Amino acid sequence: MSINRELVNKRSQPVVAAASSEQPYQSGVYQHSLFITRSEKEIIDLIRTHEGLTKGNLVSLTDYSRTKISSCIDSLLQRKLIIENDETEYSGGRRSRSYSINGGYGLVAGVDIGATSIDLAVADFSRKILMRYSEAAFVREGPIKILGRVCSLLEKIIRENGYTPEDVLGIGMGIPGPVDFYSGVVISPPIMPGWDRYPIIQTVSQWFTQANIVVDNDVNLMALGELHAGNCIGVENLIFVKIGTGIGAGIICNGQIYRGASGCAGDIGHISVSKSGPMCHCGNKGCLESLASGPAMAERALIAAEAGKSRFLIDRYAANGNNLTSEDIGYGAREGDQLSIEIIRESGEMIGDVLAGLVNFYNPEMIVIGGGVSNLGNLLLSSIRQAVLGRSLPLATRNLNIVFSATGPDSGVIGAVNLAVDHLFRVVASGEVEFD
């Protein structure tokens, strides 16, 4: 794929609008927007979802006349947002041209910052991933170091593949903490010292000056990734559960991310499951995260090994330099270690008990289990499933599927890329921006 450099240079006048310096900075959403009409947006969304639609297809999928469809198509073609396909549809009469998103219009990037990792993806405008990179990193090291590393890595892989930072039109970013989506900042994150209200968007904008930047909770982006590329294509209502260093949920309602009033919907890790349980990072006792996350499982295994309760865990403890992880527990379960099996089962049951309440309340079609701890396998999944089915109303679970993520470690960056593209556009009508 090649980027149309001339188009990139000229695009800003009729199509891209930068945030006014006279306005208070609130969000990266629409900082550099592609202005289109509502009907054009609907057509773009349809072409994104259904590759190779003809004008006739678009007439049947919308309430628009063929004349209006033709006018919108002509406008989008003129602005290079879509392209005509070489192949045409033939139905016995005149051949009909089909249309696709113009991948060469520019680049979009997806960034998934986890508690212990950085995952990056760069895609073309059609959302086809062109470049991928991952490395270990610790979010506790603070925003200056982590964001600096993210931006330098992103710039490096972009330049190594023949592009420039100015080719990047949009960046979607996932952060492992409570995110005020509309301001693009993290609010009082329990495991992220130094990140509270840090200006993430402004920092990244210094590196990628032409990019529209949008920040969201990492689990929301995982849910979005699964919706677009995993087990959930066509599913309207689902819950994506990430089990890793923390525990969180991304909620898809009627095909859209549900964020709640302040952007923190789905923070199930801090639901209390035992008032006498251990202290959580959030300051409360007995949160689900403090009892069933990866570190919580590892802590329980460590205590058991030091007490001599499992020969397998004692040996792993010594081999790892007096340390254990959730991966060790998984190895133990596969080797038949009863204590490892017990830890996984009880953790899965606690997670399932919380999810059962959500199932009764929300009635999703699907629950998707992801995150690093999901690698513990079917024992964890079956324990979650058993608890959900045992504690939920029969009607709520009649059509419920509980599955592992199909996109695995790519779910976050896939979702971030899709979020970046979704928020590149701003609808206008009659020359005025519509704020709805």
Q: Are 84 and 78 in contact (CB under 8 A)?
A: no
Residue 436: is its pLDDT beyond 70?
no
Structural domains of the chain, ranges and CATH numbers in brackets: 5-102+425-433 (1.10.10.10), 105-224+413-421 (3.30.420.40), 233-406 (3.30.420.40)
Q: What pLDDT shows up at residue 265?
A: 92
Give the H or E element holding residue 304. helix 294-306
What pairs with residue 181 in β-bridges?
none
Q: Are 169 and 125 in contact (CB under 8 A)?
A: yes
Q: What pLDDT shows up at residue 263?
A: 83
Distance CA 305, CA 292 (A): 18
Tokens of 38: 């509502």
Reported as a pLDDT band with limits 50, 70 and 90, residue 384 is: very high
* Contact partners, residue 235, CB within 8 Å, separation at least 6: 227, 252, 365, 366
Q: What pLDDT shows up at residue 96?
A: 79
Q: What pLDDT shows up at residue 435?
A: 39
Q: In degrees, to the nearest 5, what angle opens at C-alpha 393 toward C-alphas 242 and 285? A: 45
Tokens of 386: 């058993």
Tokens of 331: 């190895």
Tokens of 82: 């879509």
DSSP letter at 364? Answer: -
Q: What pLDDT shows up at residue 32?
A: 75
User: Helix (H, G, I), strand (E, B), or coil: what is residue 74?
Assistant: helix
Residue 14: is its pLDDT beyond 60?
no
pLDDT in tens, 348-373: 999 999 999 999 999 999 999 999 99
Distance CA 86, CA 99 (A): 9
pLDDT in tens, 299-314: 999 999 999 999 999 9
pLDDT in tens, 238-260: 999 999 999 999 999 999 999 99
CB-count exposure of residue 123 (10 Å: 0-12, 13-18, 19+): buried
Write down the pTM of the prediction. 0.87
